[in-house]
Structure 1
Amino acid sequence: MKIIDSHVHLFATPHLQNLAWMTDDNPLRASHTLDEYCHHSLMLPGCDHGVVEAYSVDGVVVIEADVKSSLNDWSHAIAEYEWVCRIIDNKLLAGEGSSSHAGLVSAIVPWAPVPAGPQAVTEYLACLRLRNPTVTDKYLKGVRYLAQDKPSGTMTSPLFIDGVRVLGSSSSSSSSSSLSNRLVFELGIDLRLGGTWQLDEAVILLDAVNSVTRIIINHYGKPDLYLSPNDLLTSDKFIHWTKAMTKFAATNSYLKLSGFFSELPVDLIHHHHEWQDMLARVLPWVKVGFELFGTDRIIWGSDWPVCTINGGKHSFNKFVALTLALFDELDLSDRERQAVFYDNAKRAYNL
């Protein structure tokens, strides 16, 4: 069965200083290129991955890695985009990795200055296309601006809303405004660390842009997987999240099944005897998402290499195995599994 990994971050050693979150002691302070991704994913032929050995990565969506950018300084974000273009064009510079697996890149989702409003977003997209028209026209499928660490009011400001709306009338080539060619917006919010107010503001945003722009909700909205399953029915966070997801599902949006290893207690990920506990911790949230969005509007992503911080170097395969266990609990058919792993991403990103 084929997989399109809808959430992969890439960065090479020469680019580490451009990442906003990078520190000297960060566990990801090393090269994480497409070569490393392939080495740690299902791409290795002949490796025994047990239950996941029948699955292989057929494409990846490269998501911006939160580089140092501001509404007035786009230089690092543009440099990150140009590097991904060089991967595709096989024109990498020294220390930037290789283009051996360039054919895996299915889409690019760079950072964009969304809070600056529609004019800034339009100008920024034009800058990207100027750097590499050929790659942009084929691979630029959306943008991301992380709201999860921004102050209240960011997502609901008129400029932000209009900055998202303009994506719905834009395409990478600027030659078509048909629905299939419009750019998506990747929404990054955080229930566990950010709080329920982020859900409330995201509901306002999605309602305001629903008729124009497709939203892809990253990481299931980052649920609070530290909560015990026994406490969920009385948990304000779970109840609030469920109500918000109900409203999200009524809009032109997709839900990304990704990022769980960053939200789970580490001991549940690493101890094999805790596998059933990890499954029980995740399942109630996953069930709600599938009940609301169905199997045709949920897409799968590894969140590599962020997933390795808590999940270890084999986290990609661990997350595939966890996903398959969730599919078994949900009694999904082969067609539905393939939809989540592959088909839905093709439709969501117009691949």
Structure 2
Amino acid sequence: MPPPPFIIDSHIHLWDSGDIDKLAWCKPEDTLARRCTVEDYVEAVNSTAPEAEESSSAGDGPRVGYIFVECDRANDGGADWTQPLAEVTMMRQIIEAEGESSSTGSTASSQARCLAMVPWAPVHSGPEVLERYLDAVQEAAGPVAWPRVRGFRYVVQDKPHGTMLADDFVAGLRLLGRRGFVFELGIDQHRRGRTQMEETEALLDRLHGDDVPEAERVVLVVNHLAKPDLTVLNPAADRGFAAWRNAMFALGKASPSHVFVKMSGLFSEMPDALRNQPSNAFFVATFPWFAVLLAALGPSRLMFGSDWPVCTARYASLLAVEGTASSDAEDAAATATTPDKKISKAEAGAWDKWRRIVAQMCYMATLGEDDEAMIWAGTAVKAYGLDTEK
């Protein structure tokens, strides 16, 4: 399935080798303890999944606009803003460099352009602290990059239950709504169970209830399908799947202009048994989740996201069973813990692999051209208020 001519990748992360020790979750031995730059991302977009190499040529990837999402840099529980603001400064440099090179088309920005960024924010600290932080982000971003700050994220998947329903948290989100920013909601149904899904429904009532002025109704973008449990063998009979499905339909009942879901992150959720199957088996196994999303929200509220480079982290073992050359596997192993090395050629195919899986979903669901265009780009434009012409 050839890629569409233009894709908005709604979820990528970037860091250089010198930033690795600033990532709160990353250990020196981790697969992702290496550079992941715009140049590496463009290489991934131009790479081909192993099973498609006979029918595709390298270097013919689609034109891509991406949304940078914060990488959870160390912040001392929200008290220290140094690293989150340094991340904003990093993106400022990338965006300003795009402007300087756009006339020549000589850099990675000619194919992959940053359309928006979503920095970290201490939403849990309440509106007064959050207001000061937004001022600090504006200063760090500068006049060129600040307009591309379209939202903020504070991951709650690893926080105590009740975090997202605290008064300060809700008030912080209402502030983002007043300021016209999106909030990225990172929750984890697989590991945290039904409680986070139930709290999300309660949060929607507090954010979008009849007593909330329209100007304060923040747009919520749910990351990674809320991380469902893909270890389920029989979704139709599983209580966890039923809880996730009910939560998706609850999201679907919310305002169509205020709640969206990213089709991203499932490579990180796949069980070992599924990783040892060909990619088509991965699509078949996950189609029940895709079907729920389409029924509950529809294409106009779903958006493609690669979750690059996280999508590469558990990809090597999948490659081995699909006939990837041993030299590529050795290349992946050699670069895994070398910070200055690029992501291997083999692992770079993860981006194309996920794109093909989403394309297969569109095909199997018999989506029309307009609906497909929403998933690939249109929904992101609507949710984030993007101007793709600038």
Identify unmatched segments of 5+ residues in structure 1: 92-98, 171-181
Match of 1:253 in 2: 259
Q: Does 1:216 align with 2:221?
A: yes
Match of 1:278 in 2: 282
Provide the C-alpha distance between the structure 1 equivalents of 2:57 and 2:375, rounded to a whole number of angstroms.
Answer: 15
Contact 1:52 1:317 in 2 (8 A): no
Provide the C-alpha distance between the structure 1 equivalents of 2:153 and 2:54, rounded to a whole number of angstroms.
Answer: 33
Contact 1:5 1:59 in 2 (8 A): yes
- The Cα offsets for residues 220-262 of structure 1, whole Å up to 9 and x where unpaired, read as 111111111xx21221111111111111112220011000101
TM-score where L is the length of structure 2: 0.80
Q: Does 1:147 align with 2:156?
A: yes
Match of 1:77 in 2: 84
Contact 2:47 2:61 in 1 (8 A): no
Q: 1:168 to 1:328 in 2, by over 3 A?
A: same
Match of 1:88 in 2: 95
Q: Percent identity?
A: 31
Match of 1:156 in 2: 165
Matches within 5 A, 1:149-298: 149-170=158-179, 182-210=180-208, 211=214, 212-228=217-233, 231-251=234-254, 252-269=258-275, 271-272=277-278, 275-298=279-302
Q: CA deviation at 1:50?
A: 4.0
Identify unmatched segments of 5+ residues in structure 2: 99-105, 209-213, 317-346
Higher relative contact order, chain-length normalized (CA < 8 Å, sep 6+): 2
Task: Select which of 113, 118, 126 maps to 1:109.
Answer: 118
Equivalent residues, number: 327
Q: CA deviation at 1:295?
A: 1.0
Q: Which amino acid counterpart does residue 217 of structure 1 have in structure 2?
A: V
Q: Which amino acid counterpart does residue 232 of structure 2 have in structure 1?
A: L
Q: 1:336 to 1:42 in 2, by over 3 A?
A: farther
Higher mean alpha-carbon deviation, 244-253 vs 139-148, is at: 244-253
Q: CA deviation at 1:136?
A: 4.0
Higher mean alpha-carbon deviation, 296-305 vs 309-318, is at: 309-318
Contact 1:218 1:256 in 2 (8 A): yes
Provide the C-alpha distance between the structure 2 equivalents of 1:112 and 1:224, rounded to a whole number of angstroms.
Answer: 28
Q: 1:52 to 1:343 in 2, by over 3 A?
A: farther
TM-score where L is the length of structure 1: 0.88
Provide the C-alpha distance between the structure 1 equivalents of 2:137 and 2:28, rounded to a whole number of angstroms.
Answer: 30
Structure (1 or 2) with the larger CA radius of gyration: 2
- The Cα offsets for residues 146-202 of structure 1, whole Å up to 9 and x where unpaired, read as 0000011101101011111110111xxxxxxxxxxx100000000111211110111
Q: CA deviation at 1:82?
A: 0.6
